[in-house]
Amino acid sequence: MKGQILVVGGAGYIGSHMVKLLLAQREQVVVVDDLSSGYRDAVLPGATFVQGSIGDDALLDSLFRRYNIDTVMHFASFIQVGESVKQPGRYYDNNVCNTVRLLNAMARHQVPYFVFSSTAAIFGHPQSVPIDESHPQIPINPYGKSKWMIEQLLPDYEQAYGIRHACLRYFNAAGADPDGMLGERHEPETHLIPLALRAAMGKLDRFTLFGDDYDTPDGTCVRDYVHVADLCTAHMLAIAYLRKGRSSGAFNLGNGNGYSVREILKTVEDVTRTRIPVRVSPRRMGDPSVLVADANKAHRLLGWQPRYADISDIVTHAFNWELAQEEKSQNVLG
């Protein structure tokens, strides 16, 4: 008999979308989030919410004693590359030390399955494109290193405690809930599509483009964007995969299509029917020219097929969310 699912970081961007899908699949869900970057109202009714940190051993022990949890899904990492360079200790403390505390609690309470939100940042500067799971992993910033460290230690926890795992390596998570109930709410916002949308909507004076001299067709970075709903579907499939007794593993998640920054800006302009003012600034440190996924392993072993592979769908759903947030803000003001 399957147990309950603990979603850590379930009030954040991807975590809240995951909770929505789990509830739709009639899973019993417990959410733990300290609300440092998540939002309580993003956790939909039907999930049990507990405010707290996965660095709190007593809290974790009480949760595992109280609920019949068989799967833990981890969305509680800090994610800003630039911040990780400036504050590496903060990132290693949360992304590594707190995750180890969580795994130790799972070991104490014999929780068998762990689904980990990983990242393409573990690959560093790609040696070949598209990137498959066997590509050398040489992260170039503390954020990527923190995720890579967890991937490295998970086999030890499986050998010692029987915790099997699926590491899902996102390329560029994007978009919003197609139903319009949830979306991207980072503070500060650092992701390309919401920033471009806000520039198109007049919320920003201009969009800042970091570097137009890369070795790409139009000189701007090329990235593989994957819809947040498709990411959640992959996580759902990963749970089923582990519960069926399949082997632990890592899976790249992307559409296999690369779009440059200028192509994204053009798509945003087409969707919003607005011209975006752009300011070109120097490159940011550590931005590879091209990151595009080879996701054949996820297709083959998980049965994953992205539903929203068209970049215009991703941008349209994100735009609808931004419009809904603007309308809500105006209603509050008057």
Joined together, the tokens standing for residue 95 give: 């992304």
pLDDT (0 to 100) of residue 287:
80
pLDDT (0 to 100) of residue 169:
98
Give the pLDDT confidence of 210-241 residue by residue, as tens digits.
999 999 999 999 999 999 999 999 999 999 99
Residue ranges for the chain with pLDDT beneath 50? none
pLDDT (0 to 100) of residue 242:
97
311-333 helix and 261-272 helix, angle to the nearest 10 degrees: 60
pLDDT (0 to 100) of residue 333:
59
C-alpha to C-alpha distance for 33 and 53, rounded to whole angstroms: 6
Please indicate whether residue 92 is annotated as part of the active site.
Answer: no
Beta strands in the chain (DSSP E): 4-8, 29-33, 48-51, 69-74, 113-119, 164-170, 172-174, 207-210, 222-223, 225-227, 249-253, 259-260, 278-281, 290-291
pLDDT (0 to 100) of residue 332:
66
C-alpha to C-alpha distance for 8 and 115, rounded to whole angstroms: 11
pLDDT (0 to 100) of residue 186:
82
Q: Could you tell me where the DSSP H helices lie in 251-293?
A: 261-272
Give the pLDDT confidence of 26-84 residue by residue, as tens digits.
999 999 999 999 999 999 999 999 999 999 999 999 999 999 999 999 999 999 888 99
**DSSP secondary structure string for all residues of 1-21:** ---EEEEETTTSHHHHHHHHH
Contacts with 52 (C-beta within 8 Å, 6 or more apart), sequence order: 32, 33, 34, 59
**Amino acid sitting at position 235:** H
What predicted TM-score, i.e. pTM, was given to this entire model?
0.95
Residue 99, Cα to own-chain centre: how many angstroms? 16
Tell the burial category of 211 from Cβ atoms under 10 Å away from its Cβ (0-12, 13-18, 19+): middle
Cβ 268 vs Cβ 193: under 8 Å:
yes
Considering 143, 157, 170, 259, which one is annotated as catalytic?
Answer: 143
Domain spans, the chain: 4-174+226-253
Domain range 4-174+226-253, its CATH number among 3.40.50.1860, 3.40.1280.10, 2.30.40.10, 3.40.50.720? 3.40.50.720
Rg of the chain taking only CA atoms, in angstroms: 19
